[in-house]
Amino acid sequence: MVQIGVEETIKKIFSGTVVVTVGLFVNSFFSYLLHIYLGRSLTLEEYGIFNTLLSIFYLFNVFTSVISVSIIKIVSELLSQRKIDKLTAFYWKLVLYLSALGLVIFISISIFKNLLAEYLNITESNLFIFLGFYTLTGFLAVTMGSYVQGLLRFKLTALYYALSGILRFALPVLFIYLGFKVNGVFFALGLGVVVCFFIITFFLQKNFEYSNEKIDVSNLYKRVLDFSIPVFFVSILMQGINTIDLLLVKKFFTGDLVGYYSGVVTIGKIILFGAGSITIVMFPQISALMTSGKDYLSKFKFFLLLQILITLIAYIIFSSFPGFITTLFFGDRFSESVLLLPRFVLYISLYVCSNFFITFLLAINKTNVYRLLFLPVILQIILIYHFHGSLLEVININIIATIILLVSLLVYLYKVITAK
């Protein structure tokens, strides 16, 4: 009987992971297909500018990822309690308030566009308006993405990722074909998010239940806020480790070198997106087990084994065939990226493992984990500012910072598990 239960658990974890992984693969495939297209259609300098602005979007996207983690946790609890009417009302209130927050950030980016352009050596300041629009739509998207995960609808989660990837590729390519450059790409990216929002919301109606009575969800906002504060520090610091290097490379290096670095970043982060399916499936399940007081370590061990296996396979492939992979994605123009790829893939692999342990610790309410991130981020910034003689030197600094983070996480995790 116990053996059957274990087999069913493994089957559920594996099937959910596979389905979400397929969706993420489609998403990543079209995302990187877009990067290949842009890398071949834009000049090296334009492609470098695109990736620099995209890094800024990722920094602002910290707000949405923070809120997303809290929403997933609350949605999974409401679902288990069968409070469908409250779940429905909460969805639409979140859409309204998060859209308003996104609008504030859009206006702020537009106001400071000249200052941002001057700091990053970008001549066309109006590009930041289109970046702001894309950021605004990111706040619109956070609710639907969080709900499909919190509701444990893995097939819909896969559809969400796949559809997002397809639209993220098709619309920017169309705008480039029509003669637009980086500005058109960011507008098209935002437009794709809006289209995806309406489609996914349609499919979510299956889980909604509308009531004529006014549903009070005010207590849920406080819960989102309470959990979001520590998660905010985790997200912004992890995003910082993942994007600060590109921003500083844009500041200290020439346009062509920024383009080469953007190429290796784009290729290397395939591992980040591909391995991300593990944490997407793991977080709501571990969180639910923790809340109900059930054993979560057994399931965590299986997720850990799966994470290590996927990351190790990806590292071996990308570090063994850097020339072939770089040429496949970008052609001969990015040949300078070949020497950087094996080292960058090592950095990304360490980052993926660190992110996995952080996600697990958040799922079991160990929110103080954010304190472990300050030292690696500060060290990364200081070292890159003082030692940027080459792109390889920047990557080595990334590796040092991530190793420090991973070791500290393992020590903290050991203390948590042994104290249980």
The span from the CA of 296 to the CA of 304, in Å, is 12
At which residue do the structure tokens 């792109």 appear?
391
Helix%, strand%, coil% for the chain, nearest 5: 90, 0, 10
* Cβ-contact 205, 192 below 8 angstroms: no
Query: What six digits make up the tokens of 292?
Result: 């109900």
The count of other CB atoms within 10 Å of the CB of residue 181 is: 17
The span from the CA of 410 to the CA of 104, in Å, is 39
Please state the pTM of the whole predicted model: 0.72
User: Residue 82, by phi and psi: left (phi above 0), alpha (psi -120 to 50) or beta?
Assistant: left
Q: Where are the domains of the chain?
A: 2-418
What does DSSP assign to residue 241? H
Residue among 404, 334, 357, 279 at smallest CA distance from 36: 334
pLDDT in tens, 216-267: 888 888 888 888 888 888 888 888 888 888 888 888 887 778 877 877 887 7
pLDDT in tens, 301-353: 888 998 898 889 888 988 888 778 777 766 666 666 777 888 888 999 999 99
The H-assigned helical ranges of 112-153 are 113-119, 127-150
pLDDT in tens, 198-210: 999 999 988 888 8
* Cβ-contact 298, 377 below 8 angstroms: no
